[in-house]
Structure 1
């Protein structure tokens, strides 16, 4: 058996690691028989020299097999689905999509993450709901899927333990943006869910991991190849992340917007992503014959209230008191009787007359992160009440002094520099500028497996 230093040297010098060599490395990571410095050196070697497709597939399979792999009743065959997003601002798709898919007959064991850097985390959003428990055992997940059809949980200690180690090391060794390491991390977790179908929402744009469309497409294609090679029917879409998705950014305010969407009052861009991702999964499972029918069924589940009923049942199954869940999901809910409200609100005013051409999601998210909506390091606390609500939409004419953003914050108040940065996120122009300013499509491209 080759030594760990030999494997590091081989990859450092550009060699392709064999299946057995990759297995040796992942096994050493899992059983902690490798020094931290050696793990970091291998990650940097992979970042510098890359991996060919066979290496990435083997790397991902060994990560997936480093812990528990879920199993499901035979009668659920073909119905176990999930989606993954590469992260965005205001991206609350999972909160609407999971119950909508359950209402359409799917089983959705959605394993989600926490916010990192400027991007929000699904688990942080749900934990703004009192009592919601993201920590569920495999037996509990099975029971929730049996009774409700969907759950949204965190990664357990026993699921892909090798990824837990490598993920933390990637953050400290500046190797987060390595394509092979990204693919291994994402697909190993989804493979351990024993999915029938997976759809990937790969973001591109100014507030995405990759600003360039071609780079995002390269990641999407690699993720699809690895997922399908491991037996998970995998498709992807490329969606734009320049402006926030929907109108709300933050934790509790995004929960409120998700609930309003489940009550039929959702913003068009959020609904477009929910119906497209959900429609693709329904088609991939064979529950519908084409994408348009899948989109219609997902839309009907949301507009008609079936998805809301599933969301309420999921809340109750994951620890939320029945009365609290009913209150949040009622037609005329007083959300702030349940969800923590920030101590202070501030409305920012438009600096001039004009038409809204753009709102920079990255700027908005970075300021909110500093105000407490994000964590300074993985595992740190977040303030669920901090957030912002857009009071304008693209193409809308506003007058000088009219409110365009409502900020929710707690002491200390935002600094003058932070307020200035928020104001800089708004781009106003003339009607002529609007006509010459192309309105970009949200969903740029669908990538379907052969």
Structure 2
């Protein structure tokens, strides 16, 4: 069937057959679909949607457009991963990977770079001198059995069809399509050879999905499609109406990760989200039957020092320093200008524009406005007060880390513009809204 006929079928609101979807994915990889034809079909899908069966077929075809990792006979535990839809200050993967590895699971996490206001796991790890997120699949397969976790960047060998489709979606206003988001996320994750997947779907003024209804629609789509593709999957809908943790910015978030793993400091909201996600990973992976025992195992991985040891081993194996945990300040970049951001009045803090805080990090140099842009690893915010904190006039709200005084002043103004201080304490937002699957 020629591409025009496939486009016409979806344009007219009809379901695509398995053969039509598979032909489309082949067209993405062998260029038999032009950019205009890919864009037209993406828009038709955006406008008319897809059934669960269609999305399953699209996901599996995109997964199978490249290599699919196979761990059969090489590991003595379940292969698990988590994926977040993105937020500000979300460094959970960095701490969760060694924690679940310490509990007997294996986590081969293919991570991404920052996109828009959201930070990227790869950008955070690349602030560690020598750490290489560019690894061959054979290297990943060699390291995972001994390390327990490997966090690397996306490989050209995994789901290549998704790269071309995403690039075209990015410039044709079709990024927000739930069927295409689902297939994009899952084609990459399922190529890791997973037994179980836990999704962290963010909700709020710092998330892509601002409402519970929108987040639930995406979560349901991902859970239904992943389970339909044979991977046990659950989604947790978690709050992103404020920065997650006490830092936002690449090196600052790595320092917070090290503090978390070594027990120096564990911000309560970040700790709770990490434990909830990790417990679900261990339960879906069959290592624990209930949440209480799974959380106890995760806390033991921290308190025993095993998770920190596994993280240190991963850093060293992927080219980083062997003593990062002992001397983080020796290796991680620090900004030349560090200033406190102080409250302009007394009252209770709430954050009204967490996306704006993410964009403030980008404008400081901690993110990209175009893909080739270099980032400044040292910049961002630290010592961030959580929402509902009571402050007096002049109290520190956060600390800005900047390349120069002018950048610090702009970021300070942007930070203050993204919050309100009121006489009455704001209503508490539930950290975990609900789970699906």
Report the TM-score, using the length of structure 1 for normalisation: 0.94
Task: Show the 5 A alignment for 1:28-427.
Answer: 28-74=27-73, 76=75, 79-264=78-263, 265-322=265-322, 326=323, 328-330=324-326, 333=327, 335-358=328-351, 360-411=353-404, 413-414=406-407, 418-427=411-420
2-structure distance, mates of 1:285, 1:61: 21
C-alpha contact (below 8 Å) 2:336/2:402 kept by paired residues = yes
The match for 1:445 is 434
1-structure distance, mates of 2:319, 2:196: 28
Change (3 A) 1:212 1:391: closer
Query: What SS does the corresponding residue of 1:248 show, helix, strand or coil?
Result: coil
1:217-275 per-residue CA deviation (whole Å, 9 max, x = no partner) reads: 11101100110111111111000101000010010000000110001221111111111
2-structure distance, mates of 1:443, 1:215: 16
2-structure distance, mates of 1:68, 1:36: 24
C-alpha contact (below 8 Å) 1:77/1:196 kept by paired residues = no
1-structure distance, mates of 2:20, 2:387: 52
1-structure distance, mates of 2:414, 2:96: 33
CA RMSD of aligned residues (A): 1.5
Q: How much does 1:47 deviate?
A: 0.8
Q: How much does 1:417 deviate?
A: 5.5
Query: What SS does the corresponding residue of 1:87 show, helix, strand or coil?
Result: coil
1:311-341 per-residue CA deviation (whole Å, 9 max, x = no partner) reads: 000001111132xxx1x212xx4x3321111
2-structure distance, mates of 1:349, 1:235: 40
2-structure distance, mates of 1:82, 1:416: 40
2-structure distance, mates of 1:391, 1:50: 40
Q: How much does 1:207 deviate?
A: 1.0
1:98-129 per-residue CA deviation (whole Å, 9 max, x = no partner) reads: 00011111111001111000000000000000
2-structure distance, mates of 1:317, 1:383: 25
Q: How much does 1:379 deviate?
A: 4.1
1-structure distance, mates of 2:81, 2:346: 44
Query: What SS does the corresponding residue of 2:237 show, helix, strand or coil?
Result: strand
Q: Does 184-193 or 405-414 show the bigger shift?
A: 405-414
C-alpha contact (below 8 Å) 2:364/2:411 kept by paired residues = no
C-alpha contact (below 8 Å) 2:400/2:411 kept by paired residues = no
2-structure distance, mates of 1:38, 1:396: 52
1-structure distance, mates of 2:77, 2:409: 54
C-alpha contact (below 8 Å) 2:6/2:16 kept by paired residues = yes
1:260-297 per-residue CA deviation (whole Å, 9 max, x = no partner) reads: 00012211111111111111111112211101111111
Query: What SS does the corresponding residue of 2:296 show, helix, strand or coil?
Result: helix
1:330-384 per-residue CA deviation (whole Å, 9 max, x = no partner) reads: 2xx4x33211111211222210122223464222111111121110123432111
2-structure distance, mates of 1:291, 1:252: 32
Within the alignment, does 1:9 sit opposite 2:40 as a pair?
no
Q: How much does 1:171 deviate?
A: 0.7
C-alpha contact (below 8 Å) 1:203/1:209 kept by paired residues = yes
1:113-151 per-residue CA deviation (whole Å, 9 max, x = no partner) reads: 110000000000000000110011111111211211100
2-structure distance, mates of 1:296, 1:360: 35
Query: What SS does the corresponding residue of 2:407 show, helix, strand or coil?
Result: coil
2-structure distance, mates of 1:405, 1:310: 31
Gaps in structure 1 of 5+ consecutive residues: none
2-structure distance, mates of 1:267, 1:415: 25
Q: Does 417-426 or 67-76 show the bigger shift?
A: 417-426
For this pair of structures, how many residues does the alignment match? 436
2-structure distance, mates of 1:150, 1:418: 36
Change (3 A) 1:10 1:385: same
C-alpha contact (below 8 Å) 2:337/2:408 kept by paired residues = no
Q: Does 22-31 or 5-14 show the bigger shift?
A: 5-14
Q: How much does 1:57 deviate?
A: 0.8
Task: Show the 5 A alignment for 1:427-442.
Answer: 427-430=420-423, 433-434=424-425, 437-442=426-431
Report the TM-score, using the length of structure 2 for normalisation: 0.96
Query: What SS does the corresponding residue of 1:44 show, helix, strand or coil?
Result: helix
